[in-house]
Chain A
């Protein structure tokens, strides 16, 4: 074991946490691995679905039938329409919090895919709209605006379809990062929830006007079935599963402990905690059912691996909600949704791991450390000594599980951190870097910078696992 306390010692301002009574985690076997098979299967299903969505058009269109520009425009409009309809279903499905998806893809990857699919969906919707309006206008020798008017007045369900497109544009534009940063999270979130409305409003026009879906037959039936499946997944993932989980485990706040001036740990107890199938590094979405907080649900990682007696989250106060959590009373009921995430020891590809934490990003890594095989290394970046969280626990774990720990304290421009967070610095601390999985969790800037350094040091991308506390 090498343990270096280069710059700082931690400082705890609260009563000591109840972890102390526990024997050190049983050392060897780490958790068994979960391969990427599930992920690949899901990706195959996605592409098959896309083909299935466009296939009816392909089969129903005779070759050579699109000789003129008008025909080409409307055909492209139909294809983009089918693609948009399919992607919208995929988008909603990804947000259904279906266990099968969360376990195989993980929140991080889902939200990344959700962003990419979202951008594509927006473009597909706009293309669908533009191509068909222009195509129809040419066909009817109408002006563009006149054609929009005709569509709105003469066609069934077109008003709601246009509203749906408007909603998707609004949702898409506020999801652009620069815009989103300027909006309060709740506003963004509620606007985003209106996309369910887009699903509803866009539904009708596909069947009353869609060339491929108008006619009763297998295509129409299949499409409706897909809609029903997605809605069922939504009800299952967002309602039934959480209801069952919470009725079964009945979580309550047991204690709130200060870890540093701006960080708290919340301990939870409940029924049958040993039966929750969770892994260190996973997170839940928490709803604290007291008058001030019940209407907000926030994601926080578990900062200790499952032990059957309590759960813990370690929260940094960054805004309104996290500030309120400081005043939680023991006994407050908690509604939880999870566990989610593939940021776990089970998703490693190698025997050894390097963990890099920034600030409160230590929370999931601290939990994961209990489940990684011995021999891991941890680099913990913190701005000041006071920001080093869970210091005593890390020391204790480092001994029990043969982990090297480096605390790197200072601002990012200080010589120490600058030197460590470079390819050479990382290689010096962890010479076998490229043969390890690297788990990164912390502020966006730190994570990006670290990824760049790791890549330059020669770590393959699939060995790098990210958690950026940002959905």
Chain B
């Protein structure tokens, strides 16, 4: 039993050590994870080397959900044009709805975010705006079957629709859906880009 206790203590200490080692945010580490995070949103041709990883990092940090995007993998070049630079740098500021800047005339339009590939598939978010207000959102092209389909359904159910979290929050600052981190992250990415365009 003494050895079992030792092993259990080892397990606890080992797990804590691993988590702490990975968790501690340090300057060198931030620079290291940034390029991966950047990769998915660099569009086809234009803005290629644009945002120098080191430089953009500090301003991108405050974005609450910057962290899981590191795993999103490379995305296809979106058909619609988006700029990586604006997306990243405006991230923290777009949270507030831009009611003041928009014209008073109420028109309904839809804006589609870029296709974002993530671990289990790819998706694209389309939002419907009435004036500057988001009134509807939906994820397109999400996987339908299997486990990824289940995750997609979870994410759709939580975020999309006229009573979903996107409409409620009017921003891409959404809570990550548990168990669907990658899907949530991809959704938020595409949504953010759509918002930037709108």
Q: A63-B33, A117-B7, A154-B150 are in contact. Are A76 and B67 (CB under 8 A)?
A: no
A119 touches B8 (CB 8 A): yes
Rounded to whole Å, the gap between the CB of A91 and the closest CB of chain B is: 13
> Given A65-B70, A209-B147 in contact, is the A136-B178 Cβ separation under 8 Å?
yes
Task: Give Cα distance in the complex from A429 to B76, angstroms.
Answer: 83
- Residue numbers in A under 8 Å from B70 (CB-CB): 62, 65
A440 contacts B by Cβ under 8 Å: no
Q: Contact: B178 with A60, CB < 8 Å?
A: no
Chain A 192-215 near chain B by CB (<8 Å), digits 1 or 0: 000000000000000011010011
B45: interface (CB < 8 Å): no
Per-residue contact bits, chain B 12-37, to A (CB 8 Å; 1 contact, 0 not): 10111011011111100110110010
**Of A54, A72, A119, A156, which one neighbours B1 at CB under 8 angstroms?**
A119
Contact A147 B178 (CB under 8 A): yes
**Closest B residue by C-beta to A77:** B15
Kindly identify which residue among B18, B32, B175, B179 contacts A151, using a CB–CB cutoff of 8 Å: B179
Residues of A within 8 A of B71 (CB): 60, 62
Residue of A nearest to B36 (CB): A62
If A116-B4, A117-B7, A214-B120 touch, does A72 touch B179 (CB 8 Å cutoff)? no
Q: How many residues of A contact B (CB 8 A)?
A: 46
Cβ contacts under 8 Å, A83 to chain B: 11, 14-15
A-B interface pairs (CB < 8 A), number: 120
Contact among A65, A117, A124, A155 with B67 in the assembled complex (CB-CB below 8 Å): A65
Is there an interface contact between B119 and A214, defined as CB atoms closer than 8 Å? yes
The residue on A at minimum CB distance from B23 is: A66
Task: Determine whether A61 belongs to the interface, using a CB cutoff of 8 Å to chain B.
Answer: yes
Q: Known contacts A60-B71, A116-B4, A140-B177; decide if A79 and B26 are in contact (CB<8 Å).
A: no
- Please state if A115 and B33 are interface contacts (CB–CB under 8 Å): no
A58–B18 alpha-carbon span in the complex (Å): 8
B23 touches A67 (CB 8 A): yes
Decide if B105 is an interface residue (CB 8 Å cutoff). no
Question: B15 — which chain A residues lie within 8 A by C-beta?
Answer: 76, 79-80, 83, 127
A139 part of interface (Cβ distance < 8 Å):
yes
Interface centre among B5, B22, B33 (most CB of A within 10 A): B22
User: Does A72 contact B23, Cβ atoms closer than 8 Å?
Assistant: yes
A115-B4 CB under 8 A given contacts A136-B179, A209-B147:
yes
The answer to whether B110 has its CB under 8 Å from any CB of chain A is no
Report whether A54 and B18 are in contact in the complex, using a CB–CB cutoff of 8 Å: yes
User: Cβ of A66 and Cβ of B8 under 8 Å apart?
Assistant: no
A141 to B68, CA, bound (A): 18
Distance in Å from the Cβ of B120 to the closest Cβ of chain A? Answer: 7
Check B11–A124 contact: CB distance below 8 A. Answer: yes
B196 CB–A CB distance under 8 Å: no
A157 nearest CB across to chain B (Å)? 9
Determine if B175 and A79 form an interchain contact, defined as CB atoms under 8 angstroms apart.
no
Interface residues of A in 200-244 (CB under 8 A from B): 208-209, 211, 214-215
Contact in complex: A66, B150 (CB < 8 Å): no
Nearest Cβ distance between residue B179 and chain A, in whole angstroms? 6
Measured between beta carbons, the chain A residues less than 8 angstroms from B11 are 80, 83, 120, 123-124, 127
CB proximity of B33 to chain A, nearest CB, Å:
4
Q: Please report the C-alpha to C-alpha distance between residue A54 and residue B17 in the assembled complex, in whole angstroms.
A: 13
Question: Judging by beta carbons under 8 Å apart, are A75 and B8 in contact?
Answer: no
Residues A116 and B3 in contact in the complex (CB < 8 Å), given A60-B71, A65-B33, A209-B147? yes
Query: Which residues of the partner chain B approach A468 to less than 8 Å between Cβ atoms?
Result: none
Chain A positions 45-79 with a Cβ under 8 Å from a chain B Cβ: 54, 57-58, 60-67, 71-72, 75-76, 79
Which residues of chain B have C-beta atoms less than 8 A from A127's C-beta? 11-12, 15
Smallest beta-carbon distance A336→chain B, Å: 31
Q: Taking the complex as formed, is B176 at the interface, i.e. its CB lies under 8 A from any CB of chain A?
A: yes
The docked-state distance in angstroms from the alpha carbon of A105 to that of B22 is 36
Residue from A64, A115, A208 within 8 A of B24 (CB atoms): A64
Give A131-166 interface residues, CB cut-off 8 Å to B. Answer: 135-137, 139-142, 147, 150-151, 154-156
Interface 1/0s, chain B 121-155, versus A by CB < 8 A? 00000000000000000000000001100100010
Q: How close is A210's CB to chain B, nearest CB, in angstroms?
A: 11
Chain B residues near A66 (CB-CB < 8 A): 19, 22-23, 67
A75 to B23, CA, bound (A): 9
List the A side residues contacting B5 at CB < 8 Å: 119
Query: Are B22 and A63 in contact (CB-based, < 8 A)?
Result: yes
Minimum CB distance partner of B2 in chain A: A116
Known: A60-B71, A80-B15. A120 touches B178 (CB 8 A): no
- Could you tell me if B8 and A62 are in contact, using CB atoms closer than 8 angstroms? no
| 3 cross-chain pairs, A with B, having the tightest CB-CB distances, nearest first | A66-B23, A63-B29, A119-B4
Q: B: which residues have CB within 8 A of A?
A: 1, 3-5, 7-8, 10-12, 14-16, 18-19, 21-26, 29-30, 32-33, 36, 67-68, 70-71, 119-120, 146-147, 150, 154, 175-179, 181
Given A116-B3, A119-B1, 13 other A-B contacts at CB below 8 A? A58-B18, A62-B29, A64-B25, A65-B33, A65-B68, A65-B70, A66-B19, A76-B19, A79-B19, A123-B8, A123-B11, A140-B177, A155-B150
Complex A-B: 10 CB contacts under 8 Å = A58-B18, A58-B22, A63-B29, A66-B23, A71-B67, A80-B15, A83-B11, A119-B8, A120-B8, A156-B146
Interfacial residues, chain A to chain B (CB-CB below 8 A): 54, 57-58, 60-67, 71-72, 75-76, 79-80, 83, 112, 115-120, 123-124, 127, 135-137, 139-142, 147, 150-151, 154-156, 208-209, 211, 214-215
